[in-house]
Structure 1
Protein backbone atom coordinates (compact mmCIF):
# COMPACT_ATOMS: atom_id res chain seq x y z
CA UNK A 1 0.00 0.00 0.00
CA UNK A 2 1.38 3.39 -1.02
CA UNK A 3 1.18 6.14 1.58
CA UNK A 4 2.11 9.81 1.67
CA UNK A 5 4.77 8.86 4.20
CA UNK A 6 7.39 6.54 2.67
CA UNK A 7 8.96 6.00 6.10
CA UNK A 8 5.63 4.70 7.40
CA UNK A 9 5.37 2.26 4.49
CA UNK A 10 8.90 1.10 5.21
CA UNK A 11 7.95 0.42 8.83
CA UNK A 12 4.79 -1.47 7.85
CA UNK A 13 6.64 -3.57 5.28
CA UNK A 14 9.37 -4.43 7.77
CA UNK A 15 6.79 -5.58 10.33
CA UNK A 16 5.05 -7.76 7.75
CA UNK A 17 8.39 -9.26 6.70
CA UNK A 18 9.28 -10.12 10.30
CA UNK A 19 5.98 -11.91 10.83
CA UNK A 20 6.40 -13.91 7.62
CA UNK A 21 9.94 -14.82 8.60
CA UNK A 22 8.72 -16.00 12.00
CA UNK A 23 5.86 -17.96 10.40
CA UNK A 24 3.33 -16.69 12.93
CA UNK A 25 -0.20 -15.37 12.75
CA UNK A 26 -1.25 -12.15 14.43
CA UNK A 27 -3.13 -14.18 17.03
CA UNK A 28 0.04 -16.11 17.82
CA UNK A 29 1.95 -12.85 18.07
CA UNK A 30 -0.62 -11.57 20.54
CA UNK A 31 -0.13 -14.73 22.60
CA UNK A 32 3.64 -14.27 22.56
CA UNK A 33 3.20 -10.74 23.87
CA UNK A 34 1.21 -12.12 26.83
CA UNK A 35 -1.84 -10.49 25.23
CA UNK A 36 -0.53 -7.02 26.03
CA UNK A 37 -2.03 -6.13 22.64
CA UNK A 38 -4.72 -7.85 20.63
CA UNK A 39 -4.24 -9.55 17.28
CA UNK A 40 -6.38 -6.79 15.75
CA UNK A 41 -3.98 -4.16 17.06
CA UNK A 42 -1.02 -6.05 15.62
CA UNK A 43 -2.76 -6.48 12.28
CA UNK A 44 -3.63 -2.78 12.11
CA UNK A 45 0.01 -1.87 12.79
CA UNK A 46 1.08 -3.43 9.48
CA UNK A 47 -1.45 -1.71 7.21
CA UNK A 48 0.61 1.45 6.76
CA UNK A 49 -2.45 3.69 7.06
CA UNK A 50 -1.35 5.32 10.31
CA UNK A 51 1.66 5.15 12.59
CA UNK A 52 1.13 2.68 15.45
CA UNK A 53 2.19 3.50 18.97
CA UNK A 54 5.78 2.73 19.87
CA UNK A 55 4.94 0.07 22.51
CA UNK A 56 2.93 -1.81 19.86
CA UNK A 57 5.84 -1.75 17.40
CA UNK A 58 8.29 -2.91 20.07
CA UNK A 59 6.00 -5.73 21.22
CA UNK A 60 5.45 -6.82 17.61
CA UNK A 61 9.19 -6.99 16.93
CA UNK A 62 9.85 -8.77 20.21
CA UNK A 63 7.17 -11.38 19.49
CA UNK A 64 8.73 -12.01 16.07
CA UNK A 65 12.20 -12.35 17.56
CA UNK A 66 13.35 -9.31 15.56
CA UNK A 67 15.49 -6.35 16.57
CA UNK A 68 13.52 -4.05 18.86
CA UNK A 69 16.13 -1.34 18.41
CA UNK A 70 15.71 -1.40 14.63
CA UNK A 71 11.94 -1.37 14.97
CA UNK A 72 12.22 1.68 17.21
CA UNK A 73 14.45 3.49 14.70
CA UNK A 74 11.94 2.82 11.89
CA UNK A 75 9.11 4.12 14.07
CA UNK A 76 11.06 7.29 14.89
CA UNK A 77 11.79 7.86 11.19
CA UNK A 78 8.11 7.52 10.33
CA UNK A 79 7.07 9.93 13.07
CA UNK A 80 9.71 12.47 12.10
CA UNK A 81 8.70 12.29 8.43
CA UNK A 82 5.12 12.96 9.50
CA UNK A 83 6.29 15.99 11.49
CA UNK A 84 8.30 17.27 8.52
CA UNK A 85 5.18 17.09 6.37
CA UNK A 86 3.39 19.37 8.84
CA UNK A 87 6.41 21.65 9.33
CA UNK A 88 8.78 21.57 6.34
CA UNK A 89 11.08 24.05 8.11
CA UNK A 90 11.83 21.58 10.90
CA UNK A 91 15.56 21.11 11.09
CA UNK A 92 18.06 18.71 12.55
CA UNK A 93 19.20 19.64 16.08
CA UNK A 94 22.69 21.13 16.21
CA UNK A 95 24.02 21.28 19.78
CA UNK A 96 27.26 22.85 18.54
CA UNK A 97 25.29 25.97 17.61
CA UNK A 98 23.73 26.43 21.04
CA UNK A 99 24.94 29.43 23.03
CA UNK A 100 21.95 30.49 25.11
CA UNK A 101 18.78 29.18 26.75
CA UNK A 102 16.44 29.79 23.82
CA UNK A 103 18.77 28.07 21.36
CA UNK A 104 19.09 25.07 23.68
CA UNK A 105 15.32 24.73 24.04
CA UNK A 106 14.88 25.01 20.27
CA UNK A 107 17.49 22.29 19.67
CA UNK A 108 15.83 19.99 22.22
CA UNK A 109 12.46 20.60 20.59
CA UNK A 110 13.93 19.48 17.27
CA UNK A 111 15.46 16.45 18.96
CA UNK A 112 12.10 15.59 20.52
CA UNK A 113 10.39 15.52 17.13
CA UNK A 114 13.28 13.71 15.48
CA UNK A 115 13.00 11.03 18.17
CA UNK A 116 9.32 10.50 17.36
CA UNK A 117 7.62 12.96 19.74
CA UNK A 118 6.35 10.20 22.00
CA UNK A 119 3.81 11.12 24.70
CA UNK A 120 5.44 12.84 27.65
CA UNK A 121 4.13 10.38 30.22
CA UNK A 122 5.70 7.63 28.11
CA UNK A 123 8.99 9.54 28.22
CA UNK A 124 8.74 9.77 32.00
CA UNK A 125 8.11 6.02 32.21
CA UNK A 126 11.06 5.19 29.96
CA UNK A 127 13.34 7.47 31.97
CA UNK A 128 12.85 5.22 34.99
CA UNK A 129 9.74 6.40 36.85
CA UNK A 130 11.97 7.79 39.62
CA UNK A 131 11.36 11.46 38.96
CA UNK A 132 14.35 11.66 36.63
CA UNK A 133 12.30 13.23 33.84
CA UNK A 134 8.86 14.43 35.02
CA UNK A 135 6.41 14.82 32.17
CA UNK A 136 5.41 18.25 33.48
CA UNK A 137 9.04 19.37 33.24
CA UNK A 138 9.29 18.14 29.66
CA UNK A 139 6.04 19.92 28.80
CA UNK A 140 7.29 23.21 30.23
CA UNK A 141 10.60 22.88 28.41
CA UNK A 142 8.96 22.13 25.07
CA UNK A 143 6.70 25.15 25.61
CA UNK A 144 9.81 27.31 26.09
CA UNK A 145 9.02 28.12 29.73
CA UNK A 146 11.91 26.42 31.51
CA UNK A 147 15.25 24.74 31.01
CA UNK A 148 16.12 21.16 31.94
CA UNK A 149 18.80 20.65 34.55
CA UNK A 150 21.82 18.55 33.60
CA UNK A 151 20.53 15.24 34.96
CA UNK A 152 17.17 15.77 33.26
CA UNK A 153 19.02 16.51 30.03
CA UNK A 154 20.85 13.18 30.24
CA UNK A 155 17.56 11.35 30.88
CA UNK A 156 16.01 13.17 27.91
CA UNK A 157 18.90 12.13 25.66
CA UNK A 158 18.63 8.52 26.82
CA UNK A 159 14.91 8.35 26.09
CA UNK A 160 15.48 9.91 22.66
CA UNK A 161 18.07 7.20 21.87
CA UNK A 162 20.90 9.70 21.44
CA UNK A 163 24.16 7.79 21.20
CA UNK A 164 26.74 8.20 23.93
CA UNK A 165 29.20 9.84 21.56
CA UNK A 166 26.86 12.83 21.17
CA UNK A 167 26.23 13.36 24.86
CA UNK A 168 29.36 15.48 25.33
CA UNK A 169 28.19 17.92 22.66
CA UNK A 170 24.85 18.29 24.40
CA UNK A 171 26.55 18.68 27.80
CA UNK A 172 28.73 21.50 26.45
CA UNK A 173 25.68 23.11 24.85
CA UNK A 174 23.87 22.99 28.19
CA UNK A 175 26.88 24.54 29.96
CA UNK A 176 27.03 27.41 27.48
CA UNK A 177 23.32 28.09 27.91
CA UNK A 178 23.54 27.87 31.71
CA UNK A 179 26.52 30.24 31.87
CA UNK A 180 24.69 32.71 29.67
CA UNK A 181 21.73 32.58 32.03
CA UNK A 182 24.05 33.21 34.97
CA UNK A 183 25.56 36.24 33.22
CA UNK A 184 22.11 37.68 32.53
CA UNK A 185 20.99 37.08 36.12
CA UNK A 186 24.14 38.78 37.46
CA UNK A 187 23.56 41.75 35.16
CA UNK A 188 19.97 42.06 36.35
CA UNK A 189 21.07 41.98 39.99
CA UNK A 190 23.64 44.70 39.26
CA UNK A 191 21.03 46.85 37.53
CA UNK A 192 18.69 46.56 40.50
CA UNK A 193 21.52 47.56 42.85
CA UNK A 194 22.43 50.58 40.72
CA UNK A 195 18.81 51.71 40.50
CA UNK A 196 18.43 51.46 44.26
CA UNK A 197 21.69 53.35 44.81
CA UNK A 198 20.66 56.13 42.42
CA UNK A 199 17.39 56.52 44.28
CA UNK A 200 19.05 56.80 47.69
CA UNK A 201 22.02 58.94 46.56
CA UNK A 202 20.98 61.24 43.71
CA UNK A 203 23.38 63.28 41.62
CA UNK A 204 23.85 67.08 41.90
CA UNK A 205 20.68 67.76 39.91
CA UNK A 206 18.56 65.08 41.44
CA UNK A 207 16.61 65.10 44.63
CA UNK A 208 16.02 62.02 46.66
CA UNK A 209 12.58 61.72 48.05
CA UNK A 210 12.88 62.91 51.66
CA UNK A 211 11.74 60.60 54.32
CA UNK A 212 8.46 61.73 55.72
CA UNK A 213 8.94 63.15 59.21
CA UNK A 214 6.75 61.60 61.86
CA UNK A 215 3.86 63.80 62.79
CA UNK A 216 3.86 65.22 66.28
CA UNK A 217 0.72 64.53 68.27
CA UNK A 218 -1.68 67.45 68.64
CA UNK A 219 -0.90 69.41 71.78
CA UNK A 220 -3.58 70.71 74.11
CA UNK A 221 -3.93 74.55 74.36
CA UNK A 222 -1.41 76.04 76.74
CA UNK A 223 -3.18 77.16 79.95
CA UNK A 224 -2.74 80.67 81.25
CA UNK A 225 -0.31 80.93 84.14
CA UNK A 226 -1.85 81.44 87.58
CA UNK A 227 -0.39 84.97 87.82
CA UNK A 228 -2.17 86.08 84.69
CA UNK A 229 -5.46 84.79 86.01
CA UNK A 230 -5.01 86.85 89.21
CA UNK A 231 -4.41 90.10 87.29
CA UNK A 232 -7.45 92.32 86.53
CA UNK A 233 -8.59 92.43 82.98
CA UNK A 234 -8.49 96.32 82.99
CA UNK A 235 -5.61 98.35 84.37
CA UNK A 236 -6.65 102.04 85.04
CA UNK A 237 -4.23 104.67 83.80
CA UNK A 238 -2.71 107.42 86.02
CA UNK A 239 -5.15 110.25 84.97
CA UNK A 240 -8.06 108.01 85.65
CA UNK A 241 -6.77 107.41 89.16
CA UNK A 242 -6.42 111.17 89.74
CA UNK A 243 -9.98 111.90 88.68
CA UNK A 244 -11.30 109.22 90.94
CA UNK A 245 -9.71 110.97 93.86
Structure 2
Protein backbone atom coordinates (compact mmCIF):
# COMPACT_ATOMS: atom_id res chain seq x y z
CA UNK A 1 0.00 0.00 0.00
CA UNK A 2 1.26 3.51 -0.91
CA UNK A 3 2.64 5.35 2.11
CA UNK A 4 1.52 8.92 2.84
CA UNK A 5 4.04 11.63 2.02
CA UNK A 6 5.15 14.88 3.59
CA UNK A 7 3.16 18.03 2.75
CA UNK A 8 4.27 19.81 -0.42
CA UNK A 9 5.94 23.21 0.16
CA UNK A 10 3.65 25.88 -1.26
CA UNK A 11 6.11 28.55 -2.36
CA UNK A 12 6.04 27.65 -6.09
CA UNK A 13 2.51 27.10 -7.48
CA UNK A 14 3.59 25.41 -10.72
CA UNK A 15 5.91 23.00 -8.92
CA UNK A 16 3.18 22.25 -6.37
CA UNK A 17 0.79 21.47 -9.24
CA UNK A 18 3.31 19.06 -10.77
CA UNK A 19 3.99 17.34 -7.44
CA UNK A 20 0.27 17.01 -6.73
CA UNK A 21 -0.30 15.51 -10.16
CA UNK A 22 2.51 12.99 -9.67
CA UNK A 23 1.24 12.01 -6.22
CA UNK A 24 -2.33 11.65 -7.47
CA UNK A 25 -1.09 9.37 -10.25
CA UNK A 26 0.72 7.13 -7.75
CA UNK A 27 -2.14 7.15 -5.24
CA UNK A 28 -4.55 6.01 -7.95
CA UNK A 29 -2.49 2.83 -8.34
CA UNK A 30 -1.82 2.16 -4.64
CA UNK A 31 1.79 1.33 -5.53
CA UNK A 32 4.85 2.05 -3.43
CA UNK A 33 7.87 3.77 -4.97
CA UNK A 34 9.75 0.48 -4.72
CA UNK A 35 7.07 -1.20 -6.81
CA UNK A 36 7.15 1.64 -9.33
CA UNK A 37 10.93 1.39 -9.61
CA UNK A 38 10.67 -2.22 -10.78
CA UNK A 39 8.74 -1.03 -13.84
CA UNK A 40 11.08 1.78 -14.90
CA UNK A 41 14.79 2.59 -15.04
CA UNK A 42 14.86 4.88 -12.00
CA UNK A 43 15.29 4.16 -8.31
CA UNK A 44 12.53 4.53 -5.73
CA UNK A 45 14.35 7.50 -4.17
CA UNK A 46 14.55 9.33 -7.52
CA UNK A 47 10.85 8.81 -8.17
CA UNK A 48 9.96 9.88 -4.64
CA UNK A 49 12.10 13.02 -4.90
CA UNK A 50 10.29 14.02 -8.11
CA UNK A 51 7.00 14.32 -6.19
CA UNK A 52 8.30 16.31 -3.21
CA UNK A 53 7.71 19.72 -4.77
CA UNK A 54 11.23 20.69 -3.72
CA UNK A 55 13.13 19.87 -6.93
CA UNK A 56 12.43 20.19 -10.64
CA UNK A 57 12.64 16.67 -12.09
CA UNK A 58 13.90 15.95 -15.58
CA UNK A 59 11.65 15.13 -18.51
CA UNK A 60 12.84 11.53 -18.39
CA UNK A 61 11.96 11.12 -14.70
CA UNK A 62 8.49 12.61 -15.14
CA UNK A 63 7.90 10.37 -18.15
CA UNK A 64 9.08 7.28 -16.23
CA UNK A 65 6.94 8.19 -13.21
CA UNK A 66 3.85 8.61 -15.39
CA UNK A 67 4.49 5.36 -17.26
CA UNK A 68 4.91 3.45 -14.01
CA UNK A 69 1.50 4.71 -12.88
CA UNK A 70 -0.23 4.37 -16.23
CA UNK A 71 -0.79 8.14 -16.23
CA UNK A 72 -0.85 10.55 -19.18
CA UNK A 73 2.81 11.25 -20.00
CA UNK A 74 2.01 14.33 -22.09
CA UNK A 75 0.03 15.83 -19.20
CA UNK A 76 2.98 15.44 -16.85
CA UNK A 77 5.45 16.91 -19.33
CA UNK A 78 3.19 19.90 -19.93
CA UNK A 79 3.02 20.62 -16.20
CA UNK A 80 6.81 20.40 -16.13
CA UNK A 81 7.00 22.90 -19.01
CA UNK A 82 5.00 25.38 -16.92
CA UNK A 83 7.50 24.96 -14.06
CA UNK A 84 10.38 25.71 -16.42
CA UNK A 85 8.64 28.75 -17.86
CA UNK A 86 8.24 30.05 -14.31
CA UNK A 87 11.94 29.42 -13.70
CA UNK A 88 12.79 31.47 -16.80
CA UNK A 89 10.75 34.37 -15.45
CA UNK A 90 12.44 34.12 -12.05
CA UNK A 91 15.81 34.44 -13.77
CA UNK A 92 14.91 37.75 -15.38
CA UNK A 93 15.16 41.20 -13.84
CA UNK A 94 13.09 41.86 -10.76
CA UNK A 95 9.61 43.06 -11.51
CA UNK A 96 9.63 41.74 -15.08
CA UNK A 97 6.17 40.85 -16.33
CA UNK A 98 4.96 38.02 -18.53
CA UNK A 99 5.71 38.18 -22.24
CA UNK A 100 3.72 40.94 -23.92
CA UNK A 101 1.90 39.78 -27.05
CA UNK A 102 3.09 42.85 -28.94
CA UNK A 103 6.71 41.85 -28.27
CA UNK A 104 6.44 38.32 -29.69
CA UNK A 105 8.58 38.04 -32.82
CA UNK A 106 9.32 34.32 -33.15
CA UNK A 107 7.87 30.90 -32.37
CA UNK A 108 10.06 30.38 -29.31
CA UNK A 109 8.50 33.44 -27.68
CA UNK A 110 5.02 32.43 -28.82
CA UNK A 111 5.35 28.93 -27.32
CA UNK A 112 6.57 30.43 -24.07
CA UNK A 113 3.61 32.84 -23.98
CA UNK A 114 1.26 29.90 -24.53
CA UNK A 115 2.94 28.03 -21.67
CA UNK A 116 2.52 31.06 -19.40
CA UNK A 117 -1.17 31.30 -20.34
CA UNK A 118 -1.66 27.60 -19.61
CA UNK A 119 0.04 28.06 -16.23
CA UNK A 120 -2.42 30.81 -15.27
CA UNK A 121 -5.47 28.55 -15.57
CA UNK A 122 -6.53 27.48 -12.10
CA UNK A 123 -6.73 23.69 -11.99
CA UNK A 124 -5.97 23.60 -15.69
CA UNK A 125 -4.89 20.39 -17.39
CA UNK A 126 -4.43 19.23 -20.96
CA UNK A 127 -7.48 17.02 -20.59
CA UNK A 128 -9.71 19.86 -19.33
CA UNK A 129 -8.48 22.23 -22.08
CA UNK A 130 -9.13 19.54 -24.69
CA UNK A 131 -12.70 19.09 -23.43
CA UNK A 132 -13.43 22.82 -23.52
CA UNK A 133 -11.88 23.09 -26.98
CA UNK A 134 -14.10 20.30 -28.31
CA UNK A 135 -16.94 22.85 -28.53
CA UNK A 136 -15.14 25.01 -31.09
CA UNK A 137 -12.55 22.71 -32.61
CA UNK A 138 -10.06 19.95 -31.93
CA UNK A 139 -7.02 20.34 -29.69
CA UNK A 140 -5.05 17.08 -29.47
CA UNK A 141 -3.31 16.79 -26.09
CA UNK A 142 -0.18 15.24 -27.59
CA UNK A 143 0.26 18.08 -30.09
CA UNK A 144 -0.45 20.78 -27.51
CA UNK A 145 2.00 19.19 -25.09
CA UNK A 146 4.78 19.33 -27.70
CA UNK A 147 4.00 22.98 -28.40
CA UNK A 148 4.00 23.94 -24.71
CA UNK A 149 7.39 22.24 -24.31
CA UNK A 150 8.78 24.14 -27.28
CA UNK A 151 9.21 20.92 -29.26
CA UNK A 152 6.82 21.95 -32.05
CA UNK A 153 5.49 25.11 -33.67
CA UNK A 154 1.77 25.75 -33.24
CA UNK A 155 -0.44 25.93 -36.32
CA UNK A 156 -2.64 29.03 -36.42
CA UNK A 157 -5.84 27.02 -36.00
CA UNK A 158 -4.41 25.23 -32.96
CA UNK A 159 -3.39 28.56 -31.41
CA UNK A 160 -6.86 30.05 -31.91
CA UNK A 161 -8.56 26.99 -30.43
CA UNK A 162 -6.13 26.93 -27.49
CA UNK A 163 -6.46 30.59 -26.48
CA UNK A 164 -10.22 30.39 -26.90
CA UNK A 165 -10.34 27.36 -24.60
CA UNK A 166 -8.25 29.33 -22.09
CA UNK A 167 -10.94 32.01 -21.96
CA UNK A 168 -9.09 34.68 -23.95
CA UNK A 169 -11.45 37.39 -25.28
CA UNK A 170 -12.10 37.80 -28.99
CA UNK A 171 -10.23 41.11 -28.98
CA UNK A 172 -7.13 39.58 -27.41
CA UNK A 173 -7.37 36.56 -29.70
CA UNK A 174 -6.66 38.93 -32.59
CA UNK A 175 -3.45 39.97 -30.83
CA UNK A 176 -2.46 36.31 -30.52
CA UNK A 177 -3.11 35.84 -34.25
CA UNK A 178 -0.96 38.87 -35.07
CA UNK A 179 1.81 37.44 -32.88
CA UNK A 180 1.56 34.12 -34.76
CA UNK A 181 1.89 35.87 -38.12
CA UNK A 182 5.01 37.74 -36.93
CA UNK A 183 6.51 34.46 -35.73
CA UNK A 184 5.63 32.79 -39.04
CA UNK A 185 7.26 35.62 -40.99
CA UNK A 186 10.39 35.26 -38.86
CA UNK A 187 10.47 31.50 -39.51
CA UNK A 188 10.10 32.05 -43.26
CA UNK A 189 12.93 34.60 -43.28
CA UNK A 190 15.16 32.18 -41.36
CA UNK A 191 14.49 29.48 -43.95
CA UNK A 192 15.38 31.85 -46.77
CA UNK A 193 18.63 32.79 -45.04
CA UNK A 194 19.51 29.11 -44.61
CA UNK A 195 18.81 28.43 -48.28
CA UNK A 196 21.04 31.35 -49.23
CA UNK A 197 23.79 30.09 -46.94
CA UNK A 198 23.67 33.17 -44.72
CA UNK A 199 23.74 31.12 -41.48
Give the TM-score range, shorter chain.
0.5 to 0.7
Where 1:3 maps in the other structure, the secondary structure is: coil
Find the partner of 1:8 among 15, 19, 43: 15
CA RMSD in angstroms comes to 3.7
Task: Supply the distance in 2 between the matched residues of 1:159 and 1:81 (Cα, whole angstroms).
Answer: 13
CA contact (8 A) 1:27 1:38 kept: yes
Q: Name the counterpart of 2:44.
A: 39
Where 2:36 maps in the other structure, the secondary structure is: helix
Where 2:38 maps in the other structure, the secondary structure is: helix
Q: Name the counterpart of 1:176.
A: 185
Task: Supply the distance in 2 between the matched residues of 1:162 and 1:175 (Cα, whole angstroms).
Answer: 9
CA contact (8 A) 2:25 2:71 kept: yes
Q: Name the counterpart of 1:75.
A: 80
- Per the TM alignment, residue 55 of structure 1 is displaced from its structure 2 partner at its CA by 1.1
- Larger RCO, structure (CA 8 Å, separation 6 or more): 2
CA contact (8 A) 1:8 1:48 kept: yes
Aligned length in residues: 134
Task: Supply the distance in 1 between the matched residues of 2:148 and 2:90 (Cα, whole angstroms).
Answer: 26
Task: Deviation per CA, 1:60-85: give whole Å up to 9, x if none.
Answer: 01110111111111111122122222
Unaligned runs of 5+ in 2: 1-7, 117-145, 161-176, 193-199
Task: Deviation per CA, 1:188-230: give whole Å up to 9, x if none.
Answer: xxxxxxxxxxxxxxxxxxxxxxxxxxxxxxxxxxxxxxxxxxx
Where 1:29 maps in the other structure, the secondary structure is: helix
Where 2:96 maps in the other structure, the secondary structure is: coil
Find the partner of 1:84 among 89, 94, 97: 89
Task: Supply the distance in 1 between the matched residues of 2:100 and 2:67 (Cα, whole angstroms).
Answer: 30
Q: Name the counterpart of 1:108.
A: 108
Where 1:32 maps in the other structure, the secondary structure is: coil
User: With structure 2 as the length reference, what TM-score do the two structures score?
Assistant: 0.53
**1:51 maps to 2:56:** yes
Unaligned runs of 5+ in 1: 117-155, 183-245
Where 1:37 maps in the other structure, the secondary structure is: coil
Cα distance, 1:38–1:17 mapped onto 2, change above 3 Å: same
Cα distance, 1:28–1:171 mapped onto 2, change above 3 Å: same
- Per the TM alignment, residue 167 of structure 1 is displaced from its structure 2 partner at its CA by 7.3
- Per the TM alignment, residue 3 of structure 1 is displaced from its structure 2 partner at its CA by 3.5
CA contact (8 A) 1:58 1:72 kept: yes
Where 2:10 maps in the other structure, the secondary structure is: coil
CA contact (8 A) 2:85 2:112 kept: no
Task: Supply the distance in 1 between the matched residues of 2:19 and 2:70 (Cα, whole angstroms).
Answer: 16
